[in-house]
């Protein structure tokens, strides 16, 4: 078995790599990523990618078909991965998340790949408060990010054949620890706020619905999709990946964090205009198709895991929204330094002007 994982150097990728390595100790696992966040490691005891057989630094907009030779399965995570980035880099979002993703699938099919697993998102439902959305419900993508996922799903449905199986997993919002932690995800933000400043500020009125999934459970769902046969879902499958118990309103998430981090004050903006993004999701199809790969980690455990992870990082930065834990901040910073273009292409000739300054090492008898 040879599995190629795109976008493996992000938040979800290290958990997927680990899950697939444990499940398939003998498989060839290959990572492909442009590396925007490769340097944003958080408390990893070693580089997560040592579990891979190869890592390629490639922009999927220029994907060399040769990398697909002999590949059985593609797990496609690479994307501009949230609404704020999609707003700031709209063209790049459509080019990477939609056009390049579809072209990658086309190349994969031509190369004889038999299974393509696509990380889609429940954000395709946009605003959906009148009952939980199933896969048969109308989509209502409100942002460039959500639209890019809908367009890609549609194009993938047309590429599917008996020999090229496609699984689109519409993931709930991720949470939990990773070797490349993000704090621009709602629960992660709340725990980081509570731990660092003793206060959670909910910017909305707290009523929006937001289904969540622990990042390790995302990896478990991907393992299932890699293995699934056509009897569970047919050649082309769109499935909501998460669990009904994890449909929370934002104020419930804040209250759960405050309960586990003593002394936390929650402030809710009751005057805020209604949040346009709010959706409840029905995960019964996933439950029926993947009974052995259901989410296992609950909210309490996830908050605990984040607290412990942040403590181990000695995290105390209450200004973390201006830090490298925020994906948009990292892209904006790389761009302002001239390393990345507006189109999110590496400026290849650009190197740091400044010579790195290291502390002077004094030679001493006991230095070694
Ligand atoms: N995190 C969530 O809450 C969530 C929820 C639903 C779906 N998803 C989807 O899961 C996937 C992974 O999410 P994540 O949280 O790990 O995001 P992330 O931003 O941490 O990682 C995305 C990775 O894709 C890579 N990438 C971006 N553009 C690329 C390009 N042109 N070529 C090659 N690599 C490129 C980035 O360098 C990064 O390593 C994404 O497709 C995302 O849309 C995530």
What does the alpha-carbon distance between residue 38 and residue 35 come to, in Å, rounded to a whole number? 5
Nearest-atom number in ligand 1 for the CA of 182 is 20
Phi and psi angles of residue 159, each rounded to the nearest 5 degrees, phi first: -85, -15
Among 126, 105, 116, 119, residue whose Cα is nearest residue 60: 105
Tokens representing residue 277 in the block: 């993004």
Entry pTM = 0.95
Grouping H, G, I as helix, E, B as strand and the rest as coil, residue 248 is strand
What does the alpha-carbon distance between residue 182 and residue 84 come to, in Å, rounded to a whole number? 14
Separation of 270 CA from ligand 1 center, angstroms?
Answer: 32
- The answer to whether residues 279 and 141 touch, using CB atoms and an 8 Å cutoff, is no
Count the neighbouring beta carbons within 10 Å of the beta carbon of residue 111.
15
Element (H, E) at 193: helix 186-197
Residue range 217-236, pLDDT digits in tens: 999 999 999 999 988 899 99
What does the alpha-carbon distance between residue 297 and residue 129 come to, in Å, rounded to a whole number? 25
79 lines ligand 1 (CB under 6 A): yes
Rg of the chain on CA atoms, in Å: 21
Give the Å distances, CA to CA, from 230 to 72, 112, 240, 289. 16, 17, 17, 11
185 lines ligand 1 (CB under 6 A): yes
Give the Å distances, CA to CA, from 37 to 6, 9, 319. 13, 7, 19
pLDDT (0 to 100) of residue 367: 41
- The answer to whether residues 90 and 240 touch, using CB atoms and an 8 Å cutoff, is no
Nearest-atom number in ligand 1 for the CA of 59 is 32
pLDDT (0 to 100) of residue 365: 43
Contacts of 271 (CB under 8 A, 6+ apart): 205
Residue range 147-157, pLDDT digits in tens: 999 999 999 99
169 lines ligand 1 (CB under 6 A): no
310 lines ligand 1 (CB under 6 A): no
126 lines ligand 1 (CB under 6 A): no
pLDDT (0 to 100) of residue 366: 44
170 lines ligand 1 (CB under 6 A): no
Mean pLDDT by runs of 10 across the 368 residues of the chain is: 98 98 98 97 93 98 97 98 97 98 98 98 90 95 97 98 97 98 97 97 91 98 95 95 95 97 94 84 97 97 98 94 96 95 88 60 44
7 lines ligand 1 (CB under 6 A): yes
**Atom 23, ligand 1: which residue's CA is nearest?**
7
């Amino acid at each position: 078995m040879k599995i190629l994982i795109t976008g493996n150097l992000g938040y979800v990728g290290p958990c997927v790599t680990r899950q697939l390595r444990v499940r398939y100790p003998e498989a060839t696992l290959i990572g492909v990523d442009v590396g925007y966040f490769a340097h944003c490691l958080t408390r990893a005891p070693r580089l997560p990618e040592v579990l891979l057989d190869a890592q390629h630094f490639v922009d999927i907009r220029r994907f060399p078909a040769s990398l697909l030779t002999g590949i059985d399965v593609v797990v496609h995570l690479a994307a501009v991965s949230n609404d704020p980035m999609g707003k700031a880099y709209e063209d790049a979002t459509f080019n990477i998340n939609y056009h390049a993703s579809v072209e990658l699938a086309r190349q994969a099919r031509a190369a004889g790949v038999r299974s393509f697993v696509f990380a889609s998102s429940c954000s395709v439902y946009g605003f959906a408060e009148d009952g939980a959305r199933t896969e048969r419900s109308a989509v209502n993508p409100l942002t460039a990010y959500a639209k890019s996922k809908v367009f890609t799903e549609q194009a993938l449905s047309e590429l599917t054949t008996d020999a090229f199986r496609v699984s689109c997993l519409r993931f709930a919002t991720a949470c939990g620890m990773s070797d490349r932690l993000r704090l621009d995800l709602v629960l992660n933000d709340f725990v980081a706020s509570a731990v660092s400043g003793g206060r959670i500020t909910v910017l909305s009125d707290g009523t929006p619905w937001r289904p969540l999934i622990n990042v390790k459970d995302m990896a478990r769902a991907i393992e299932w999709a890699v293995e699934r046969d056509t009897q569970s879902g047919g050649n082309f499958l769109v499935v909501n990946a998460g669990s009904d118990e994890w449909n929370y309103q934002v104020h419930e998430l804040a209250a759960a964090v405050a309960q586990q981090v003593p002394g936390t004050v929650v402030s809710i903006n009751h005057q805020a205009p209604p949040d346009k993004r709010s959706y409840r999701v029905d995960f019964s199809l996933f439950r029926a198709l993947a009974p052995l790969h259901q989410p296992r980690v609950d909210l309490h455990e996830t908050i605990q895991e984040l607290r412990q992870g942040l403590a181990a990082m000695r995290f105390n930065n209450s200004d973390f929204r201006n830090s490298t834990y925020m994906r948009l901040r990292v892209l904006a910073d790389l761009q302002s330094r001239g390393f990345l273009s507006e189109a999110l292409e590496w400026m290849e000739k650009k190197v740091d002007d400044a010579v790195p300054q290291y502390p002077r090492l004094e030679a001493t008898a006991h230095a070694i």
